Amino acid sequence: MSLERVVLVLGAPRSGTGYLCNVLDAHADLAVGQEWRLPELACLAGWLVTHGALPEDRAGLRVGAGEIALGRAFVHLLAEATLDRTGATCFGDKFPPYATQMPMLERLLPGCRFVHILRDGRDVAASMMRAHAVLRSWRRTADPPGIGSCIASWASMVGAARDAGAQLGPDRYV
């Protein structure tokens, strides 16, 4: 698979990444999934191939270069299977935390491109708080987030993505 054909959608949670993913996926040449969590998937696949089973405690999982290489191969197979199944020519995925994982994704999928959706931080914070109230324990937290923590989360993700994007340049980060 040509890695120039990988597009990753990112942004803070509640910024519209799902909506943008659906719009992109509607194009015949794009097959954009929703939240494959590619770095985690690669690490777990590499560990599974190397060790024959997944560890019970994944929180402290540490993978080496060999496991990452096997995981990368698995992600490439997943992308190829997706392209074969859909007839698309470009593989994509979206996951809001990709905003903080861009350097890792660049190592996993060299040459991939990033599309960063930005939504006003005040709207994101309000949506996060509303989602928590409506969905109860949204994002696996029992206590509702405060407005300050929601804004700080947005600012952190936007800053991380912009910093990494500046290193990649406009041909790879939009």
**Residue indicated by tokens 């993978």:** 63
The larger pLDDT score, comparing residue 44 to residue 55, is at 44
pLDDT at 147: 87
pLDDT at 141: 62
Using CA atoms, how far residue 173 sits from 78, 83, 89, 162, in Å, is 23, 22, 19, 9
> Which segment of 4-18, 20-34, 42-56, 87-101 scores lowest on mean pLDDT?
42-56
pLDDT at 136: 62
Distance CA 117, CA 158 (A): 9
- Model confidence at 60: pLDDT above 80: no
- Model confidence at 137: pLDDT above 70: no
> Which segment of 18-32, 118-132, 134-148 scores lowest on mean pLDDT?
134-148
Tokens of 86: 């859909």
pLDDT at 99: 94
Distance CA 82, CA 110 (A): 19
pLDDT at 67: 80
On average, the pLDDT of the chain sits at 86
Contact present, 74 and 22 (Cβ < 8 Å): no
Q: Please report which residue ranges of the chain form alpha helices under DSSP H.
A: 17-25, 38-51, 65-86, 102-108, 121-135, 147-168
Q: Which residues lie closer than 8 Å to 22 by C-beta, 6 or more apart?
A: none
Distance CA 87, CA 79 (A): 12
pLDDT at 135: 72
- Model confidence at 140: pLDDT above 80: no
> Which segment of 31-40, 48-57, 65-74, 161-170 scores lowest on mean pLDDT?
48-57
Contact present, 172 and 115 (Cβ < 8 Å): no
Tokens of 37: 């969590």
Confidence of residue 52 (pLDDT cuts 50, 70, 90): confident
In this structure, the dihedral spanned by the alpha carbons of residues 96, 101, 107 and 112, taken in order and rounded to 10 degrees, is 30
- Model confidence at 103: pLDDT above 80: yes
| CB-based burial, 147-170: b 16+ in 10 Å, e otherwise | eeebbebbeebbebbeebbeeeee
- Model confidence at 24: pLDDT above 50: yes
Burial degree of 46 (CB within 10 A; 0-12, 13-18, 19+): buried
